[in-house]
Amino acid sequence: MTERVDVETVRFVGERAGFRVYLGESTDDGYCILLTGPDGTDGRVGCGGGGGGAVYNELQVEQDAFRSAADGVSPGEDWEAISENVYYREVPVETPTDD
């Protein structure tokens, strides 16, 4: 994880869906969302580029999606703010239909 994230920039932003959520700068120019379980284990990271000041990246774990966006930029519909720049929403599970 540390090769993708500048660890000195990582900050805790909140908790959702059983995850502790962090935001940090990537080592490549952009931002990373980092997730851990409540006890600090089971780490996951998703990084995205700075790309013009809109939505930076999204990280999805099963039905839980996390997204980061620039200051003042809407993350899109149905996203709940965890912090000023990090958002959460539950992704519905599609069930197969018998057609």
Does residue 96 fall inside a structural domain? no
Distance CA 1, CA 56 (A): 18
What is the reported pTM? Answer: 0.84
What's the mean pLDDT when you consider all of the chain?
86
Domain assignment present for residue 39? The answer is: yes
Residue 17 resides in a domain: yes
Residue 1 lies in a domain: no
Domains identified in the chain, total number = 1
Longest dimension (CA), the chain: 53
What pLDDT score was predicted for residue 83? 94
In a domain, residue 83? The reply is yes
Task: Identify whether 31 is part of a domain.
Answer: yes
In a domain, 33, yes or no: yes
Q: Judge whether 95 lies within some domain.
A: no
Q: Give the range of the structural domain holding residue 40, as residue numbers without chain letter.
A: 7-90
Which single residue is written with the structure tokens 């502790």? Answer: 20
Cα(32)–Cα(44) distance, integer angstroms: 10
Look up residue 63 and give its DSSP letter. Answer: T
pLDDT per position as a tens digit, 26-65: 888 788 999 998 888 888 999 887 655 566 788 999 999 9
